[in-house]
Amino acid sequence: MAREADPLDLIGSKADERLLGEDRGHLPAGMDPAPQPLPESQARRQVVRFGATMTGVTLVGGVALALLGLIETIADGGLGWVAVLVLGLILVTTHWGWVHVAELTGNRIEASRHASLDERRQHWLSQIEPYPRWEVRTRADPGGEITIETVVYRPVPRGERRFSFTRELASREVHPAEEPAAEVTERAELLRRQAAAATRQAREQFEVANDAYERALIASDDEEQRRAALQAASEALSERINANLSDPPLTE
pLDDT in tens, 184-219: 899 999 999 999 999 998 888 888 888 877 777 655
Report the alpha-carbon distance of residue 102 to residue 107 in Å, rounded.
8
* Residue 237 and residue 208 in contact, taking contact as beta carbons nearer than 8 Å: yes
Which range, 9-13, 58-62, 137-141, has the best average confidence (pLDDT)?
A: 137-141
Say which residue, 200 or 101, is predicted with more confidence: 200
Q: State phi, psi for 244 to the nearest 5 degrees.
A: -65, -35
Query: Band of the pLDDT at 135, cuts 50, 70, 90?
Result: very high
Cα Rg of the chain (Å, integer): 33
Closest CA to 12 of 235, 237, 209, 241: 209
Q: What is the mean pLDDT of residues 32-52?
A: 66
pLDDT for the residue numbered 111: 61
* Residue 31 and residue 135 in contact, taking contact as beta carbons nearer than 8 Å: no
Please, what is the end-to-end C-alpha distance for the chain in angstroms? 26
E-assigned strand segments in the chain = 14-15, 133-140, 146-157, 162-175
Query: Band of the pLDDT at 89, cuts 50, 70, 90?
Result: confident
Closest CA to 226 of 146, 139, 160: 160
pLDDT for the residue numbered 249: 45
The pTM of this model reads: 0.58
Say which residue, 246 or 167, is predicted with more confidence: 167
Mean pLDDT of the chain: 76
